[in-house]
Chains A and B, each alone.
Chain A
Amino acid sequence: MSVVSLNNIVKRFGAFTAVHRMSLDMPEGSFITLLGPSGCGKTTTLRMIAGLLDPTEGDITIGGQRVNDVPIHKRNLGIVFQNYALFPHKTIAQNIAFGLKYRGVSKQESVRRVRDALDLVQLPDVGDRYPAQLSGGQQQRIALARAIIIEPNVLLLDEPLSALDANLREDMRIELKRIQQQTGITTVFVTHDQSEALAMSDLVVVMSDGRVEQVGPPEEVYNKPASEFIARFLGTSNILAATCKDVSADEVLMEVEGLGPVTLPKDQTREIKPAEQCKIVIRAEKLHLASPGTPRDGRHAVEGVVETVDYQGQAARYFLRLGDLQLQAINMIEDSPFSKGNHVDIRIRPEDCVILAGEPS
């Protein structure tokens, strides 16, 4: 059963369309991420679910009930904002108990639930302090406690980690996922950070220019990008022009720019005809570099020259020159990295090449 459904929703601001006809079902208990660059419509979508914006067209249902005309304070939602949005004039305990006041919860019950919520976010002793006395990470935990104590139908997270510094962000990410799994609240998470999206989600919705580009589990969105935009936005990719030479029952022979003829396993969901032009995507970490002359283990290989090395500790990112093509490869470093000017053998497994859907742009 889906808790939140968006049916053909459209949001226009004057002549500008922020969200184009969008439909989406969010299964109960799942963690759904709206991912995209700024201005892609993800926050607008979240605000429409929250009731802070009205959709221009289409219906939003929460728990089977159409909520278009239900004001925000009657939707039973928990929202966590980027800048915590704690009430500065109330203590932490008062902040967390705020939503309970409007739900007829008795004083004793309220005190007990606030204590439980503080335990859940692992800050049991801060109830009497004021928000300004806590660090950013602590404030965001309190904001989360305040949102989930009311047992919302849906938890909406609007870039909750982006105001935190890098180390804290990773801890909070793990913490957030733990709490979501523990409480089982259906959660909609908005972010522009692909690693957050991939690490936390059950379902990733990639958006661009107000349109949904792809919906799927993280591995699927990462490994089988539906468009060039997603391939470029998620991770580091090499996108190469290719022409189909021959198609058999389960294999496709492609003439790939810079790589020459490559036989790829046929993707059954993608129709392809001989002479068709298309693009293929190869993730940077799927290009294996080796010294020339070592065994190739049946992988497709071409020779290139290292142009730039971006050393990252356990891995290195290489910019490779291959005729007039530049490729990127990210490889783990086993003994010492290749250096600038080295001739290397670039090896590719055919199954790591993804043929992009749609016509080349």
Chain B
Amino acid sequence: MSWMILRIWTALVYLFLFLPIGVVMLLSFNANQFGSFPVTGLSFRWFFKLANNDAILRAFETSLLLGSLTAVISTTLGVLASLALVRYKVPGQNMISTLLIAPILVPEVVLAVALLLFLNALSINKSFFLLLMGHVIFTLPFVVLVVQARLVNIRRDVEEAAMSLGASPRQTFFQITLPLLAPAIFAGMLFAFTISFDDITGTLFWKPGGVETVPTQIFAMLRNSISPEINALGTVMIILTVGLPLLGIGIVRKMSTKSSE
């Protein structure tokens, strides 16, 4: 009996969490012009309207560019930092490690305001480049954590074995360390991309005038009126931010089973 209650309760919790997402996705296909219940017919009109909305397309472009650049920069820095911290003795190792992870621990608003005030104090104008740097700061911890965790598990003696067989430290890195690290690098990159693509708090503070990312665009649209286009946009976002990591996990799994079957 008590098990039954627990089950129903659990189901209700999940329903509460996922029902809104389901509703958004359902309504995005609704032909009704107000984008609300009742569902009057199945249609892709909101998606077509979305595809013709210049503001949204521009925001999409900005978000993709921002996300991709963030992923590339963050991953490069994160991999190099992890290598230095795990493989070499660096003075102040623990402090550097903590500092790199710190942006996760600090509330994003605080980080956002701090950076904004800092830029003001230095009288530097907001720009796309600084927005990008802001995204790098708070995606870096995820890359560092994922890559470090993997690197710790790559035994040093595997690299030593490669060197004893005649590979130079450089060749050892490209032949042994990098391929073994690849799944983590890939995962870190995906993390960085989705976090950047999804972000609104920091972006709102840092974005220069006239630049909108998808989340800030949605936010702006919501302030005026609730157009059914937003439902369609929500569906696209959900597919992108859920689908991409799932795809990534699938690829990583495939890559690592190859070497551990």
Residues of chain A whose beta carbon lies under 8 Å from any beta carbon of chain B = 50, 52, 71-79, 81-83, 85-89, 98-99, 101-103, 130, 132-133, 143, 146-147, 150, 156
Tally of contacts, chain A with chain B, CB under 8 A: 78
Chain B window 159-194, contacts with chain A (Cβ cutoff 8 Å), 1 for yes, 0 for no: 011111111110110011001100000000000000
A82 and B176 CA atoms in complex are apart in Å by 19
A85 touches B157 (CB 8 A): yes
Cβ of B260 under 8 Å from chain A: yes
Chain B residues closer than 8 Å to A52, beta-carbon distance: 160
A75 and B160 CA atoms in complex are apart in Å by 13
A72 touches B163 (CB 8 A): yes
Pairs across A and B, CB under 8 Å, 22 listed: A50-B160, A71-B163, A73-B164, A73-B166, A74-B166, A75-B164, A78-B164, A79-B160, A79-B161, A81-B160, A85-B158, A85-B160, A86-B161, A88-B180, A98-B167, A99-B165, A99-B166, A101-B166, A103-B166, A132-B260, A143-B161, A146-B161
Chain B residues closer than 8 Å to A101, beta-carbon distance: 166
Chain A residues closer than 8 Å to B155, beta-carbon distance: 83, 85
A87 touches B164 (CB 8 A): no
A85 touches B165 (CB 8 A): no
Chain B residues closer than 8 Å to A130, beta-carbon distance: 258-261
Residue of B157, B164, B179 touching A72 (CB-CB under 8 A): B164
In the complex with contacts A102-B167, A130-B259, A130-B260, A87-B162 CB distance below 8 A: yes
Residue of B162, B169, B180, B258 touching A98 (CB-CB under 8 A): B162
In the complex with contacts A73-B166, A73-B167, A85-B161 CB distance below 8 A: yes
Residue of A79, A86, A132, A133 touching B164 (CB-CB under 8 A): A79
In the complex with contacts A81-B160, A81-B161, A85-B161, A102-B176 CB distance below 8 A: no
Residues of chain B whose beta carbon lies under 8 Å from any beta carbon of chain A = 155, 157-158, 160-169, 171-172, 175-176, 179-180, 258-261
The residue on A at minimum CB distance from B168 is A73
Question: Shortest beta-carbon distance, A353 to chain B, in Å?
Answer: 45
Chain A residues closer than 8 Å to B175, beta-carbon distance: 98
The residue on A at minimum CB distance from B158 is A85
A72 touches B261 (CB 8 A): no
Closest 7 CB pairs between A and B?
Answer: A102-B166, A99-B165, A85-B157, A85-B161, A89-B259, A79-B164, A81-B157
The residue on A at minimum CB distance from B260 is A132
A101 and B166 CA atoms in complex are apart in Å by 9
Question: Shortest beta-carbon distance, B172 to chain A, in Å?
Answer: 8
A289 and B160 CA atoms in complex are apart in Å by 52
Chain B residues closer than 8 Å to A82, beta-carbon distance: 157
The residue on A at minimum CB distance from B176 is A87
A132 and B180 CA atoms in complex are apart in Å by 14
Chain B residues closer than 8 Å to A50, beta-carbon distance: 160, 164
Question: Shortest beta-carbon distance, B10 to chain A, in Å?
Answer: 37
Chain A residues closer than 8 Å to B172, beta-carbon distance: 73
A89 touches B261 (CB 8 A): no
- Residue of B163, B175, B179, B261 ringed by the most chain A CB atoms within 10 A: B163
A102 touches B157 (CB 8 A): no
The residue on B at minimum CB distance from A72 is B163
A89 touches B164 (CB 8 A): no
A87 touches B163 (CB 8 A): no
In the complex with contacts A88-B180, A130-B261, A132-B259, A83-B157 CB distance below 8 A: yes
For the complex with contacts A78-B164, A87-B158, A102-B165, 6 further pairs of A-B residues with Cβ separation under 8 Å are A50-B164, A73-B168, A77-B164, A79-B160, A88-B260, A147-B165
Chain B residues closer than 8 Å to A75, beta-carbon distance: 164
A226 and B73 CA atoms in complex are apart in Å by 63
Question: Shortest beta-carbon distance, B160 to chain A, in Å?
Answer: 6
The residue on A at minimum CB distance from B166 is A102
Chain A residues closer than 8 Å to B176, beta-carbon distance: 87
B165 touches A98 (CB 8 A): yes
Chain B residues closer than 8 Å to A89, beta-carbon distance: 179-180, 258-259
A102 and B172 CA atoms in complex are apart in Å by 11
A73 touches B260 (CB 8 A): no
A78 and B169 CA atoms in complex are apart in Å by 17
